[in-house]
Amino acid sequence: MSILTVYFCGTGSHRFDDKNPNFWNGELVSTLASNDQGKEYAHWIAVDGPGSGNLQADELFVEPGGYYNWNQTLFGKGWEENVQHALQIIKGESNWQRTELSEEEYQRLKAAGVPIPNSTATASWFWRTYNYGNRKITPQMLQEQIIKQFRKDGIIPTQVNLVGWSRGGVSCHMLANALLGDSELKKLAVNIFAIDPVPGIGNFDHHRVQLGENVKQYVGFFSRDERSKGFSCVIPKTHASTRCHVYPMPGRHATLVGNAAADGAAGGKVLAEPGLIVRHFAEVCLTRWGVKLQKMLNLGERDLQAYHQVLARDDSKYQAMRTHSYTVLTESEKGERAVSLGSQGAGFSAVKGGTLMPPAGLAAPITWQASSYQEIR
């Protein structure tokens, strides 16, 4: 059995956010990726989120869109390319390669004394552009070789795990549907761990809000106290055969991935319990799905009970978060967080019943009981 795990970072977040000071113990998705003990590209990849600075542009297996950061942050531009990049990684072959050296790479090689040709200038001085030479070996070539060498039992894995936060969570939905629509990959078993998937205004297309029969298990944690306008999270409509588990958690959008600030945005360690609980269950699920992780929390039942007691004690602090907004404006649905169940708008606690396990869904009380999280423990 061959397993590949894709870690989709959220908007403005990237694979190095395990060191981001706004997250006291590292942003969750990038931290999970850095703790994955498999071989990068062969067994796991981390995909930077839209608006995070195009740090991966040279390494993508598809041609990057070259979007401005503001266009990525506001509208999610670039996430379709991220999904296609992940799909090509699964196939083990790129359909685009960056063959031309960038100025930064050129200067680095020159400084290291590597014998490469001098850069050449074209056009007049006013419109002058520079050619820094071509790569003989591209990043994509190296990554393809890693996949061939370390991915056992064939190039295409037999199972794909998807982990994502924010637009990264929605990217999990998008990739699962892209796999289902690919004749070569449609039979792959898919597991998803999504943390507060938020598509952004106008991005509630079918392939972002519904999932098919290839998704075997879906686990989602959703922040109860987010009120920022444009931050309506999506609980996807799943296939009848999918084991679907959704859980409410106090805090704002970033609280669930390790931001422990009282306002859910700045630094500091004030309200850390939601991030710890979500991280623990992410590690538990990934381990069950065949991923080997280091530095796991390994919380016991007593730890979880104690953390939930602290959640109850600090409930007023979490409710106070509702006055804050990442986008200045706030929104709600009958006093609750506005969410989308599939493509239909709803209030937070209306997400319950149907195929959800437990049936209480997002209406469940956030208290510790012997049966809490039993479906994923």
Query: Do the Cβ atoms of 306 and 280 come closer than 8 Å?
Result: no
92/126 same-domain check: no
The overall pTM is greater than 0.85? yes
* pLDDT exceeds 70 at position 218: yes
Q: What is the DSSP string of 225-262?
A: T--BTT--EEE-B--TTSEEEEEEESS-TTGGGT-B-T
Question: Average pLDDT, whole number, for the chain?
Answer: 92
121/248 same-domain check: no
Q: Please name the residues in contact with 217: beta carbons below 8 A apart, sequence gap of 6 or more.
A: 191, 192, 242, 243, 244, 245, 285, 289
What average pLDDT does the segment 49-55 reach?
A: 89
187/129 same-domain check: no
Per-residue confidence band for 159, with pLDDT thresholds at 50, 70 and 90: very high
**Of the candidates 142, 196, 137, the residue with the CA atom closest to the CA atom of residue 169:** 196
CA 255 to chain centre: 15
- Which residue range forms the structural domain that includes residue 108? 100-134
Residue 309 in tokens? 């007691």
76/104 same-domain check: no
Percentage of residues in the chain having pLDDT higher than 70: 90
* pLDDT exceeds 90 at position 156: yes
Does 91 map to a domain? Answer: yes
Does 373 map to a domain? Answer: no
Does 370 map to a domain? Answer: no
Does 372 map to a domain? Answer: no
Q: State the pLDDT at residue 54.
A: 79
355/215 same-domain check: yes
Tell me the residue type at 341.
L
Q: State the pLDDT at residue 304.
A: 98
Residue 354 DSSP code: T
What average pLDDT does the segment 283-300 reach?
A: 98
Query: Regarding beta strands 215-223 and 233-235, do their DSSP bridges make them parallel or antiparallel, or are they unpaired?
Result: unpaired
Percentage of residues in the chain having pLDDT higher than 90: 82
* pLDDT exceeds 50 at position 348: yes
CATH of the domain at 317: 3.40.50
Query: Do the Cβ atoms of 149 and 42 come closer than 8 Å?
Result: yes
Residue where a domain terminates, one of 89, 113, 134: 134
Does 86 map to a domain? Answer: yes
Residue where a domain terminates, one of 110, 134, 158: 134
Query: Do the Cβ atoms of 231 and 358 come closer than 8 Å?
Result: no
199/149 same-domain check: yes
Specify the higher pLDDT residue, 271 or 111. Answer: 271
Does 90 map to a domain? Answer: yes
Specify the higher pLDDT residue, 369 or 108. Answer: 369
Q: State the pLDDT at residue 127.
A: 39
Does 147 map to a domain? Answer: yes
Does 176 map to a domain? Answer: yes
126/273 same-domain check: no
Whose structure tokens read 């298990």?
A: 217
120/145 same-domain check: no
List, for residues 98-154, the tens digit of each pLDDT value. 777 666 656 655 676 655 566 655 444 333 344 445 656 888 999 999 999 999 889
Query: End-to-end alpha-carbon separation of the chain, Å?
Result: 23
List, for residues 3-50, the tens digit of each pLDDT value. 999 999 999 999 999 999 999 999 999 999 999 999 999 999 999 999
Per-residue confidence band for 236, with pLDDT thresholds at 50, 70 and 90: very high
Residue 147 in tokens? 């996949």
Q: State the pLDDT at residue 70.
A: 86
326/263 same-domain check: yes
Lowest mean pLDDT among 67-81, 90-104, 250-264, 298-312: 90-104
Considering only CA atoms, give the Rg of the chain. Answer: 21
* pLDDT exceeds 50 at position 66: yes
82/196 same-domain check: yes
Q: State the pLDDT at residue 134.
A: 62
204/73 same-domain check: yes
* pLDDT exceeds 90 at position 289: yes
Residue where a domain terminates, one of 134, 160, 190: 134
109/68 same-domain check: no
Domain count, the chain: 2
| DSSP H or E stretch at residue 367 | none
